[in-house]
Amino acid sequence: MSVIFTPAPEVGEIASELIPQYHAHLKGLRIDYAFRSDWWKSKGKLVYGKAMLITGHNAYLATRHDQRPPDKFFFVAICGVYWLGMSESERRALVDHELCHCWAEHGELSILPHDVEEFRSVIERHGLWSPDVRSFGEIAARKQTQLSLMDDAATMPVNVNRFLNIGDDVRVEE
């Protein structure tokens, strides 16, 4: 079964609240939001959302019916199945996370990587050994009661677990 994308206006609504607060550099830029119909993985981990920069022929295809030349823009895809089981605060955190990937400066758009890239096992063996990991650990310690890390299906909210086994016929409708 092929992947189906459908408009995600509720994601856009959350983004429209977050952009003025935390992402002023994105004001006035085109960002399209969609739900992806199925679960997907990257490097063995479930992907809950993904921000992408649309350029070149993809931007042309997305704007060819407009009367203006194609422009770069951002596209944020959210796993629709996962979204169904999320709390409002988790939804806001996911949208905020994806917006953090979107960067605009001096008219140039780009996708930013995560601030921290590390293995759990390295932290277990060596602690918070680098400045970025140490900073992340300090913030996490301060926010411990609010922190909700969901690494795999076993730690997801119970109402999401039931969606994991429904297979390729998942459709998220508008």
What's the domain range around 12? 5-114+162-169
Comparing 91-100, 121-130, 148-157, the range with the smallest average pLDDT is 148-157
More confidently predicted of 33 and 149: 33
**HEC string for 59-77:** HHHHHCCCCCCCCCEEEEE
Output the CA–CA distances (angstroms, integers) from residue 2 to 31, 156, 169, in the order listed: 24, 25, 9
102 occurs within a structural domain: yes
Query: Which residues is 74 bridged to in the sheet?
Result: 31, 53
Q: Can you give the pLDDT at residue 43? A: 87
Q: Would the pLDDT of 156 be above 70? A: no
The tens digit of pLDDT for each residue in 24-80 reads: 999 999 999 999 998 888 888 889 999 999 998 888 888 777 766 668 999 999 999
Output the CA–CA distances (angstroms, integers) from residue 36 to 11, 73, 154, in the order listed: 12, 18, 22
129 occurs within a structural domain: no
Average pLDDT, the chain: 82
76 occurs within a structural domain: yes
What is the domain count for the chain? Answer: 1
87 occurs within a structural domain: yes
59 occurs within a structural domain: yes
> 């459908």: which residue's tokens?
6
Q: Would the pLDDT of 147 be above 50? A: no
Q: How confident is the model at residue 162 (pLDDT cuts 50, 70, 90)?
A: very low
122 occurs within a structural domain: no
Q: Would the pLDDT of 123 be above 50? A: yes
Q: Can you give the pLDDT at residue 20? A: 98
CATH number, domain at 83?
3.30.2010
Q: Can you give the pLDDT at residue 67? A: 65
153 occurs within a structural domain: no
Output the CA–CA distances (angstroms, integers) from residue 137 to 101, 134, 149, in the order listed: 20, 5, 13
140 occurs within a structural domain: no
